[in-house]
Amino acid sequence: MIQFPHCKINLGLSIIEKRVDGYHELETVFYPVQLQDMVEVCIAENSHDEVQFTHSGIPVPGDTKNNLCIKAYQLLKDKFPQIPATQIHLHKHIPMGAGLGGGSSDATAVLKIMNQLFNLQLAQKELISLAAQLGSDCPFFVHETPCLAKGRGEILEPIQCDLSKYTIVLVHPGIHVSTAWAFGQLHPHSKSTSIATIVQQDIHTWKNELINDFEAPIFEAYPLIASLKEYLYQESAIYASMSGSGSSLFGIFPKGKTIAAPSFASSIRIDTI
């Protein structure tokens, strides 16, 4: 069984306070974008291993035992010991460590596929609870529609936000930004206007009001990322921002718009959705 898990962008990202559990209270809107990976899950015939994991496309670094897809499998295997030996293949196309949630989307796809393939009869609420054990943004990929996210990102509420009449351009500069470092640069504080309110306004107001708190410290540390946001506006973006804690950016343009890589960063990756 195959699924094509998509990525997400953050429309605004406010870090409101640091919690006693060490996490941060935040507000953002997760918006689904159809840049996709491919995940296939099937029964592994004549296998002595509980799970076999292979991957193609963009190289996946690190020990495969720590891959979120394997953790998703193990989460369900612990709950349903009758699950047979399983083969998982991931074809990676969404940039990694880019603030686009690709790894979380892949892991959530494994949960959803296994639920169908092995007839586990898990309701959406149960899938969301399991996904939350894998990562703060994993529950969003069970919903798959625009959501206002609070808490650590796991408290979700569907929100009306439709960007289908626009073109979304994703820009990945190939820079890895440490999420832990990025959080350490912030000074959490409450905001006068909520992101939920701002995204309901005319999109042309977003440029001056819809802010990602991570941009200020990351732009200072990585001037190229700041320059790429400026470039998106030079190319007539209605709104441009970094997604999550970076390093990917996105621009929202009139429908049909395409852009080329800028001369100062010709090797960057650009995806037009």
Q: What are the catalytic residues?
A: 8, 137
Provide the phi-psi class of 8: left if phi over 0, else alpha when psi is between -120 and 50, else beta.
beta
The two tokens of residue 217 are: 């410290």
Cβ-defined contacts of 60-69 (< 8 Å, 24+):
60/90, 60/92, 60/96, 61/96, 67/103, 68/103, 68/104, 68/106, 68/107, 68/134, 68/135, 69/39, 69/106, 69/107, 69/110
CA distance 232 to 171: 9
| Residue closest to 29 by CA, chosen among 231, 252, 258 | 252
Helices 68-79 and 102-117 meet at what angle, rounded to 10? Answer: 30
44 phi and psi, to 5 degrees?
Answer: -90, 110
